[in-house]
Amino acid sequence: MLVLFMLVLASCKNNEHAEHADTYTCPMHPTVVSDRPGSCPVCGMDLVRKAKPGEEVKITKDLARLIKSPNEVVVASIKTIKGEFKSLPATVEAQGLVTYDTRYVYTIPARIGGRLEKVYLKYVFQQVAKGQKVADIYSPELLTAQRELLYLIENDRDNQSLIESAKHKLYLLDASERQVEDIVSKKEAAYTFSIFSAYGGYVISESQQAPAMTTSSVSASSSMGGGMGDAGTTPTPQSTQSNNSQQNADLIREGNYVTTGQTLFKVVNTSALRVELNLLTSQSGSIKTGDEVSLDLGNGLTEKGKVDFVQPFFSEGEEFLKLRVYLNNSQQLRIGQLVAATIQLKETEALWLPKEAVLDMGLEKIVFVKEREVFKPKKVITGVRTNGSIEIRQGLSSSDEVAMNAQYLVDSESFIKSK
């Protein structure tokens, strides 16, 4: 019995010593266990002592956040927001181009056929005053009409009705009263007659179109703006200066033969200028005729106007709105000049999100909707932007919880598939 008691006592002491003995293990290979410090035979790392009972670290709230998996930490730190239905005074920013009013484009025709002996208008955009001589023409028809008048005056002076008819024929052939009087007083027919402009303005070529914004530049501007940090680009106008030489070649020249009714020159009156704006339909909002427009003309000059005409059109796979704004004071404007326009829209109730919550992918607009602690990309259709907010037209409801900053969920190698 004594021997048995001693054996039990020794066993208890051994168990107590084993409980208080240190145990070492490898952090990378938990199956490696040792009763003394050393190195892991697998990876060579130093063995670490296991914690004894009572030495457990207390898991605090901050510590629990730190020991989460990386994905859980990212999801937990992203702030979310819900869209809000409200009315905001929205504004639309756009680039415009000063162009001439096509209602004030006039033509100088040839009322008689013949050969141009002298042309005084040499290049496009040359200024012309009303009553200015533009060309000298030789016309057999006009020469015959003059000789008929001189023959009647010399041989049948008392027949005033025929003489007046002969004068009236010259008037119809674009001869002025002064020119007819010179013919009668000199009693000599003129071989060339001068053609005068009935309008004032600037000469343009027959094939020349009014300067206009290109649809490709509008698409590039709208796709770049508002996405990656609102990095917008300035649209470029459809240049007319690059092909001025071709347009000058289109003008009629000395020695050319013209027919009755043929257009000699086109003259545009620049006293009536207008600004044309092209906007994507998705960004135009509810723009209507009569909306106020503020134009920045550069050099600190601003001008107020109103939308006079709204024309929807389709080009290069995109739907656009062409807006026309007529100005009262056009003295400081130049044809082809770029201006910045701000259009004030009427307040309309819509679903609004911060612009940072919408990711512009170029052809698509994406928001990240939170579903069961997971963010999923979703395609939306946006509208106007104002004061840091963007209008959501389709694809989202007011109950959807979205990431407040969509850029935080995207890296340079991500490929987003929206639903």
Model confidence over 168-202: pLDDT tens digits?
888 888 788 888 888 888 888 888 888 888 888 88
pLDDT of the residue at 397: 83
Residues in a beta bridge with 265: 108
pLDDT of the residue at 15: 53
- Within the chain, all domains assigned CATH 2.40.30.170 are found at 92-103+207-344
- Rounded Cα distance between 227 and 410, Å, is 13
The CA-CA-CA angle for residues 412, 418, 419, to 5°, reads 170
The structure tokens listed for 150 are: 């001189």
Positive or negative torsion for Cα 81, 84, 90, 94: positive
Q: What is the CATH number of domain 92-103+207-344?
A: 2.40.30.170
Torsion of CA 106, 111, 112, 118, to 10 degrees: -40
pLDDT of the residue at 238: 43
pLDDT of the residue at 160: 86
Residue among 395, 410, 351, 349 nearest 81 (CA)? 351
- Residues of the chain under the 50 pLDDT cut: 18, 220-242, 412-413
- Rounded Cα distance between 129 and 96, Å, is 29
Extended strands (E) in 66-132? 80-82, 84-88, 91-100, 105-109, 114-119, 127-128
Residues in a beta bridge with 401: 82
How many other C-beta atoms can be found within 10 angstroms of the C-beta atom of residue 364?
13
pLDDT of the residue at 5: 63
Task: Spell out the CATH class of 75-87+351-409.
Answer: mainly beta
- Rounded Cα distance between 281 and 258, Å, is 47
Q: What single-letter DSSP state applies at residue 39?
A: B
Question: What pTM value is reported for the model?
Answer: 0.52
- Within the chain, all domains assigned CATH 2.40.420.20 are found at 75-87+351-409
The CA-CA-CA angle for residues 288, 292, 296, to 5°, reads 125
